Structure 1
Amino acid sequence: MANTKDQRSPWSWIPTLYFAEGLPYVIVMTLSVIMYKRLGISNTDIALYTSWLYLPWVIKPLWSPIVDLLKTKRFWIVIMQLVVGVGLAGVAFTIPVHSFFQYTLAFFWLLAFSSATHDIAADGFYMLGLSQGDQSFFVGIRSTFYRFAMLTGQGLLVILAGALETATGLEPLEVNVTSQNIPLQEISFKPESYQQLHESGDIYFVSESDVKVPIGLMPKEQAADIKKSVDEWNIKNNYYAGEKVVAAKDEGWWTRKVSAPLKETLKEKFNKETVDLSSEVGNLAIIPIQLSTKPEPGEQVVLNFGYEKGDASIKLVKTYRYEFDETNWDKPAFALVQLDPKLKKATQTTFVGRSGNIKFSWSVVMACIAVLFVAFSLYHRFALPHPTTDVANKTEGKSVLAEFFETFAAFFRKKEIVSIMLFLLLYRLAESQLVKMASPFLLDAREAGGLGITTGDLGLVYGTAGMIALTIGGILGGIVASRKGLKYWLWWMALAINLPNLCYLLLSLFNPTSLWWISAAVVVEQFGYGFGFTAYMLFSIYVSEGKHKTAHYAITTGFMALGMMIPGMLSGWLQEIIGYQSFFVWVMICTIPIFLVLPFVKVDSKFGIKEKE
């Protein structure tokens, strides 16, 4: 146990602390996108404005010294959780107002900066509140609860918002789409052929409850024409607005003189795979959606139509948000579903349209999370221990500005700084590229060098078996590191995060058709990643030891992001040039640099070992 004024079990605060760390991140980065889509913001605006919300996490090392110099980490955690609650409450209360997009974005910015600051303080407190052995043991536990926060934000909160929409609106519209091995039929879009409804009584939505789609392919040009016609009809009748089109920029000097010639050379030398030039895509089905009777003058009935459950190999061409009023209620709006071109079996997917009070529903969700964070703040006010080392690190006689720059300088004056930097930048070099191309490889057609599995199978492989393996690997890594220390396991964990990348090279060479073999490869790679990533987190903690450990740990995470970002940005470009097989050979080559660095990495043999009580 760390040197604390009170002895409290880490189990009483680590799960809640890291759940509270992950939840604001997923709310800002993922849930906000879903919410704005539900509220009718265009894809262009959503992509532009929410992408900037990631900035606080990118630049958080720049103000990490402030957290280290002013007040305690415990103070920052409690206060930032309260500020996160205020930001969420601000989002909740401004959703119903007229200019909600501008106001909610402002509160999301507050949420993003306070969450990034909370991350700095929480990670620093983790190092102060635990002994080195406990830090090793709980490193997998904290990652697991962080992932639980991701699942909560992407799943449970969306489900809650959907349930509230259902409870506050018209009867949900449910459409079951089934793929069947039946003869293909000619598809054409003829909106005038659909019967118009003029019913009396309660207002409700009507559609085909069961849609059967023949399994097969259709010409790509025909599918594009149908999609265009459906969009034009829906836009013409004001069911939704057209998306803005951004004009492509002219090629610059770099493209003409450097990247284009390099691309052609690499493609000629290495890409031996057949390019997918298929002229066919998965079969389409047209779903009409109508309102039963005329709304009241000035009333607008909004319907959000999207995926609910079932096989993800049957998907909507887009998530639809329709607006019905007294001017367009008497004509049908249309949705398009499309089969995965690799789908060969009969399966079913359910799509649901909800027409409740969307602003009220999302306000309630955000208000509930705001209350939760106030509760987190109050709980951690009493549950967090009081480490004796958790003090402001300002030196007497020095200004805050001088200490600020001294904090950065102190990091780069560390012994073995060259090997430290190389480790931080190269440990995940191979994985940073693999993670970007793994899913496209599994999904791409075999003619393009991929394995051609369906979207539904991909979700099954990664969402169940892969997630379980990742979690077990992370927890096991923490347990074993706490027994023999980081130094003992460093090489083994480096092998664990790098060697399983060979699974993807083998998949690209042997092209198995069995989902069991594919799942086995993913499980091995995900387990290895979970186990091997433990060493990276512990090494970051180790090199951050000292007076400014909170700020220095934030700096290591900044280098981690840099080491992931740049190779990841180039991975897709490289894969398209040289093909999957050569790309996975390149990934294996990228595993070599870290093993050349490891002999120069110095770690105390006792670091990470949990002392016996």
Structure 2
Amino acid sequence: MKQKSTSPWAWVPTLYFAEGIPYVVVMTVSVIMYKRLGISNADIALYTSWLYLPWVIKFAWSPLVDILKTKRWWIVVMQLLIGAGLGGVALTIPVPDFFQYTLLFFWLLAFSSATHDIAADGFYMLDLDEHKQAYFIGIRSTFYRLAMITGQGLLIILAGFIESSTGLEPVEFSVTTQSTHTEWVVPQAKSVTTGGENQFVVTQADVVIGLNKLNKIQADSIKDWAHKQNLSNGFVIKEVQLEQAPGWWSSNVATPLKESLKERFGKEDKSAMFKGEVQGNIAAFGIRLAQMPEEGENVVLNLDRQSGAKDLSLVEGHRLTFNNQNWDQQAWVLVQADPKLDTAVSADFRGLSGNIPFAWSVTFFVLAILFVVFLIYHRFFLPRPAADKPVAESKNMLNEFVETFVSFFKKENFAIGLLFILVFRLGESQLVKLASPFLLDAREAGGLGLTTGDVGLIYGTIGIIFLTLGGIIGGYLASRNGLKYWIWWMTLAINLPNLTYVYLSYATPESMWIVACSVAVEQFGYGFGFTAYMLYLIYFSEGKSKTAHYAICSGLMALGMMIPGMISGWLQEIVGYQNFFIWVMICTIPGFLIIKFLKIDPTFGIKKQ
């Protein structure tokens, strides 16, 4: 009896949403959680950066997913482990040594999630024919991005909501800019009437910042004064920074090469006398408690922007700790305006002092329950393709493991395929690192001088819409005519729109619409062209061990983005933005040349009759 087929719409969206959630939790949510829980920036940066390692080296154990059990089995079991890891984080947040224990469970999450990625991508290739793989490539990317938005938005909102409903009344204040000149003065302490419930007392609820600028000496002295006051009173903890002497590479290779490039291609830095010298105005206000906390009790206040203009930034007082020693002292908070801001804007800030461990525990319990739901759903609704079976059941596992790697390097057209994977995005890998800095940098430095809020609107809204749209359209068209038909046009799409940055660097337009349209064109082209790249990885991975081979391809993909991206900022500082974007266009040439030598089945991606 023929098994009833399951529509890909029943499992592709949920599977790739489930794939994205643990990644964003480990890479982004963990950073915010640790910051809320009082871990230093140095420890957060060091330990959470290592959590990326399982995704980098996942190809090392990818053959096991092919050799042992089915892809369906791996998906269900990994979702069980991911749920257990999320539950483990939730349970260990309130304990005294929470940092060590939660990190242990984050490692479990990272390895389980990386393995889940291997199995999910392999299952996608096994159950869907070439036509459906091409059609759903944009759909799966869209739901993966939706998981990113959920992790960076809804989960943080949930934790913040729980924080706001516990602890003392939230601290709320608004900051407004005005065109008049304002001098910086130390706010006067506010008198406190004891009695009743404890609460925070602020020197002022409405803060005004003038649009007049400060020089670097003035701004630094204000920030230094406020930080020293908070440090001496125990509201913040001093962070240690290590200075390292230049290494052999810097002394003998990087610096000489930099000087040579600067001499031949660099331009005179006209911004040297301006860079960092002009800064936005700063407003300050104080916060204290109305009553002394109990012995040994810490009241932690986390401040952040709630809504309004992103051009007003909190530069001191993100996290303040009050106790029975400093409760009657003023903790100082500073808000600084973007130096490029020349219009009146406002922003609302809020400080929460709720039960932060409880809030994050609940958030991770919700995530754990979500993965139980995923587990149950996929246990029943994932199809059971006949091709989903272990590659080896009775053979020697070690031999099969080695053979999986060896067979990858024996693939037909291997050298050309490897070059394509590494160089197809050579230009884009460098552009993506410098696009936002170019938009933000002052015009004197060769940038466009946009504010943080402008860039957030352009990339966070317009860019995401056109990137997603390009991916969906690319997948639809590839499923109609095949990868071979569209690969040339998609190569044009991912590379040619980079010319918009060459134009922007020379024309430096004042109009926000021109800049936004240029970014929209580039992002749409990237989403459309990236479809060809992902489909070729699937095509190149076809064969006996397609799951492991796809994992190896994705690792090479990351390598092709990582290495050029590492040197892009160094290169741009030497040659300037105009020459850098011309260099980006030169780096697109290998991608055009290599596709001529690719051997692709003309029918790959097209629905078979």
TM-score relative to the length of structure 1: 0.97
Write the letter of the residue equivalent to 1:295.
P
Contact 1:234 1:240 in 2 (8 A): yes
> What CA distance in whole angstroms lies between the structure 1 residues aligned with 2:142 and 2:248?
46
Q: 1:45 to 1:196 in 2, by over 3 A?
A: farther
Aligned partner (choices 434, 437, 451) of residue 437 of structure 1 = 434
Aligned partner (choices 177, 186, 189) of residue 194 of structure 1 = 189
SS of 1:462's partner is helix
Q: 1:141 to 1:276 in 2, by over 3 A?
A: farther
Partner of 1:259: 254
> What CA distance in whole angstroms lies between the structure 1 residues aligned with 2:123 and 2:228?
56
> What CA distance in whole angstroms lies between the structure 1 residues aligned with 2:514 and 2:457?
14
Contact 1:5 1:388 in 2 (8 A): no
Q: 1:379 to 1:493 in 2, by over 3 A?
A: same
Write the letter of the residue equivalent to 1:510.
A
Aligned partner (choices 418, 422, 431) of residue 419 of structure 2 = 422
Q: Which moved more, 1:382-391 or 1:168-177?
A: 168-177
Pairs within 5 Å for 1:508-519: 508-519=505-516
SS of 1:264's partner is helix
> What CA distance in whole angstroms lies between the structure 2 residues aligned with 1:205 and 1:184?
27
Partner of 1:490: 487
> What CA distance in whole angstroms lies between the structure 1 residues aligned with 2:421 and 2:3?
34
> What CA distance in whole angstroms lies between the structure 2 residues aligned with 1:182 and 1:372?
52
Partner of 2:233: 237
Is residue 218 of structure 1 aligned with residue 218 of structure 2?
no
Contact 1:300 1:323 in 2 (8 A): yes
Q: 1:421 to 1:293 in 2, by over 3 A?
A: same
Q: 1:148 to 1:111 in 2, by over 3 A?
A: same
Partner of 1:37: 35
**1:565-593 deviation line (CA, Å, top 9, x unaligned):** 00000000000111100000000000001
Write the letter of the residue equivalent to 2:129.
S
Task: Tell me by how many angstroms 1:276 deviates.
Answer: 4.2
Write the letter of the residue equivalent to 1:217.
K
Pairs within 5 Å for 1:217-366: 217-246=213-242, 248-272=243-267, 274-278=270-274, 279-318=277-316, 320-366=318-364
Contact 1:6 1:386 in 2 (8 A): no
Structure 2 residue runs without a partner (length 5+): none
Task: Tell me by how many angstroms 1:195 deviates.
Answer: 3.3
Is residue 587 of structure 1 aligned with residue 588 of structure 2?
no
SS of 1:600's partner is coil
Q: 1:265 to 1:4 in 2, by over 3 A?
A: farther
Contact 1:4 1:129 in 2 (8 A): no
Contact 1:92 1:364 in 2 (8 A): yes
Contact 1:137 1:610 in 2 (8 A): no
> What CA distance in whole angstroms lies between the structure 2 residues aligned with 1:194 and 1:4?
79
- Structure 1 moving runs of 4+ over 6 Å: none
Partner of 2:502: 505
Partner of 2:600: 603
Q: 1:326 to 1:196 in 2, by over 3 A?
A: farther
**1:323-357 deviation line (CA, Å, top 9, x unaligned):** 11121111110111111110011011111000100
Aligned partner (choices 178, 181, 184) of residue 183 of structure 1 = 181
Is residue 567 of structure 1 aligned with residue 547 of structure 2?
no
Q: 1:318 to 1:136 in 2, by over 3 A?
A: farther
**1:516-560 deviation line (CA, Å, top 9, x unaligned):** 000000000000000000000000000111110000000110110
> What CA distance in whole angstroms lies between the structure 1 residues aligned with 2:599 and 2:443?
45
> What CA distance in whole angstroms lies between the structure 2 residues aligned with 1:568 and 1:319?
33
Partner of 2:140: 142
SS of 1:317's partner is strand
SS of 2:346's partner is strand
Is residue 471 of structure 1 aligned with residue 468 of structure 2?
yes
**1:266-287 deviation line (CA, Å, top 9, x unaligned):** 1122222523432221111112
Partner of 2:53: 55
> What CA distance in whole angstroms lies between the structure 1 residues aligned with 2:412 and 2:189?
76
> What CA distance in whole angstroms lies between the structure 2 residues aligned with 1:289 and 1:324?
10
Contact 2:190 2:201 in 1 (8 A): no
Is residue 452 of structure 1 aligned with residue 449 of structure 2?
yes
> What CA distance in whole angstroms lies between the structure 2 residues aligned with 1:28 and 1:352?
26
SS of 2:596's partner is helix
Partner of 2:116: 118
Q: Which moved more, 1:273-282 or 1:565-574?
A: 273-282
Contact 1:4 1:387 in 2 (8 A): no
Contact 1:198 1:330 in 2 (8 A): no
> What CA distance in whole angstroms lies between the structure 2 residues aligned with 1:72 and 1:277?
63
Aligned partner (choices 367, 371, 374) of residue 372 of structure 2 = 374
Is residue 204 of structure 1 aligned with residue 199 of structure 2?
yes
Write the letter of the residue equivalent to 1:126.
Y
Write the letter of the residue equivalent to 2:532.
A
Is residue 102 of structure 1 aligned with residue 97 of structure 2?
no
> What CA distance in whole angstroms lies between the structure 1 residues aligned with 2:316 and 2:587?
38
Contact 1:488 1:605 in 2 (8 A): yes
Contact 1:4 1:388 in 2 (8 A): no
Write the letter of the residue equivalent to 2:241.
V
Partner of 1:169: 167
Task: Tell me by how many angstroms 1:199 deviates.
Answer: 2.3
> What CA distance in whole angstroms lies between the structure 2 residues aligned with 1:552 and 1:578?
39
Contact 1:215 1:283 in 2 (8 A): yes
Contact 2:441 2:447 in 1 (8 A): yes
Partner of 1:461: 458
Write the letter of the residue equivalent to 1:512.
P
> What CA distance in whole angstroms lies between the structure 2 residues aligned with 1:458 and 1:95?
35
Task: Tell me by how many angstroms 1:478 deviates.
Answer: 0.3
**1:441-492 deviation line (CA, Å, top 9, x unaligned):** 0000000000000000000001111110001000000000000000000000
Task: Tell me by how many angstroms 1:510 deviates.
Answer: 0.2
SS of 1:530's partner is helix
TM-score relative to the length of structure 2: 0.98
Pairs within 5 Å for 1:524-563: 524-563=521-560
Task: Tell me by how many angstroms 1:253 deviates.
Answer: 2.5
Q: Which moved more, 1:202-211 or 1:87-96?
A: 202-211
Contact 2:177 2:209 in 1 (8 A): yes
> What CA distance in whole angstroms lies between the structure 1 residues aligned with 2:325 and 2:24?
39
Contact 2:180 2:212 in 1 (8 A): no
Task: Tell me by how many angstroms 1:611 deviates.
Answer: 4.1
Q: 1:107 to 1:73 in 2, by over 3 A?
A: same
SS of 2:175's partner is strand
How many residues were matched structurally? 605
